[in-house]
Amino acid sequence: MSTALVVMNVPLKQPASQEVYQLEAVRQAIRDLLERARSAAIPVIYVQSSSPAGASNRVVDPELAPTDQDIVLEKQTPDPFYQTTLAGALTERGIRRLVMAGTRTELDVDTACRQAFSLGYEVHLAADGHSTVDGALPASQIIAHHNNILQHFATVAAAAGIALDAPPAFSLEEPLAPADLAAIRAALAEADLYERWLAQGDVTPFWPHTHPTRVTDALRQLWDPAFTPQSRPAEPAGWELGLARQFIQPLAMMPGFFRRTAISAVAQAINHLLQSPTNPFSTQTRKLAHGLWSYDAKEFRLIYMPRTVRDSSGRERKYVFLVRLAPALPRQNPFA
């Protein structure tokens, strides 16, 4: 997966009107990213606002200024994809992984991360490589808040910790839709958290169920709030089960009229795939990538990760982490 470094409103100097928070530290973080990107022949894309506010810091600086090999684009809004050639430039170069830095945090940086995530890109944000000015909140609080909230849309880490030439999180054996890719990337961190909970018990993941029946009971409560789950044995099943938000959200948002039928079908599919989650000879389970599988039902697909971990007592625990509930693949008529 090819990578590009995207720098928004690169802070070339301190604007006279307002003080950018920790400008020199941000400049140093961006400088580090630029040096490493150019050394690795990774595309560098500058996206500058054409508004006076964005243009106020455009003073040539040899350390941060674009080179002849870099791509320089102008935008009219905080969204770097809106009415610009950014998407085309990325597609032309086969780029699906973006490293973000620049100013302003609450406008350009925030919008760029969210939009890139929605478009299916793998997004990384340099936590110390973006900044802003004081507003309704002090700039330091704005930056800290966005570093926290943007973890739902990007991998947020210090610039020095971002590997610009890193391989993708998984290598697909077949293409997936951008929406599926974005959901899978968002769920990977939750899968790691769930595994840590199973192994050590020192964290609290989203929905830390283990017994498959507890999961199907919880799913049933989405359409039948009056349903009371029965008590279950403490001993977990052969395959334990965890859920990502990206899996449960489509069901939770489904209109009530359709929800019961859909959840019932999903519960049956879960019970079936747990009988043999990694059977290469199954007509319904197939491998999508290293560690990533799909269960194909008539109306939908379950994208999941089968894993094994040892808990603190040394016991081996096998589990399936449900990542994504996706539309079914189109079926071709062999007689057509």
Rounded (5°) CA angle 12-14-16: 130
2-161 CATH? 3.40.50.850
| Level-2 CATH architecture, domain 178-327 | 2-Layer Sandwich (3.30)
Give this prediction's pTM.
0.53
| Strand ranges of the sheet holding 239-243, from the earlier edge strand across to the other edge | 239-243, 316-327, 300-310, 292-296, 285-289
- Per-residue pLDDT tens over the stretch 137-167: 999 999 999 999 998 888 899 998 888 875 5
Rounded-to-integer distance, Cα 89 and Cα 72, Å: 11
- As a whole-number percent, the residues of the chain with pLDDT over 70 amount to 87
CATH 3.40.50.850 domain range(s) in the chain:
2-161
Give the pLDDT confidence score for residue 336 in this predicted structure: 46
H helix runs in the chain, sequence order: 23-39, 52-55, 86-92, 110-118, 139-149, 178-199, 212-223, 245-252, 256-273
In single-letter form, the type of residue at position 299 comes to: E
- Cβ(324)–Cβ(246) under 8 Å? yes
Q: Fill in the DSSP letter of residue 277.
A: T
The pLDDT assigned to 322 comes to: 93
pLDDT digit string, tens, across residues 281-327: 888 898 887 788 999 988 888 999 998 888 888 888 889 999 988 88
> Boundaries of CATH 3.30.2310.20 in the chain?
178-327
